[in-house]
Amino acid sequence: MILLHNTLMAFGTAEFDTVLKSDIEQLKAEHLPLQQGLTVGNYALDNKIQAMILHVSDDDEFIHAKIGIFYTSIIGGCSCADDPTPVDENNEYCDVMCDINKKTAAATIRLLKTQGSSD
């Protein structure tokens, strides 16, 4: 479960976008739908995640934040000792929707679209 207490506490303040961005960037790839958002590589890395807050709205129960995620991936090879293919990092991007419960700070993050999708 993802809990974004700092983000919830900052809601309604001038620091909200900065706090949400920081909280998202600290998450590991396993908590974000990065693997599903791949367009170039076949394995998402979590060492260079950068978030961009695109839109924020709310209702009685949730804060809804559309977020652009920049990250990197690799194309995994056979990992043979004599494999001449270098392991290069690829730039990736996807849009996600983060819904934060206003009472518990529990967040769900789902993939919206990828750079190469036809949505």
Please give the structure tokens belonging to residue 89.
């990092």
Read out DSSP for 4-65?
-HHHHHHTTSTTHHHHHHHHHHTS-GGGTTTTTT-SS-SEE--SS-EEEEEEEEE-SSEEEE
Predicted structure pTM score:
0.86
Query: Using one digit for the tens of pLDDT, what is the confidence trace for 44-63?
Result: 998 889 999 999 999 999 99
Calpha distance 105→113 (Å, rounded): 24
Calpha distance 34→111 (Å, rounded): 8
Question: Residue 86's pLDDT is what?
Answer: 65
Question: Residue 119's pLDDT is what?
Answer: 46
| From 4-8, 70-74, 81-85, 114-118, the region with the lowest mean pLDDT | 114-118
Residues 6 or more apart whose CB falls under 8 angstroms from that of 86 comprise none
Query: Using one digit for the tens of pLDDT, what is the confidence trace for 71-113?
Result: 999 987 656 666 666 678 999 999 999 999 999 999 999 999 6
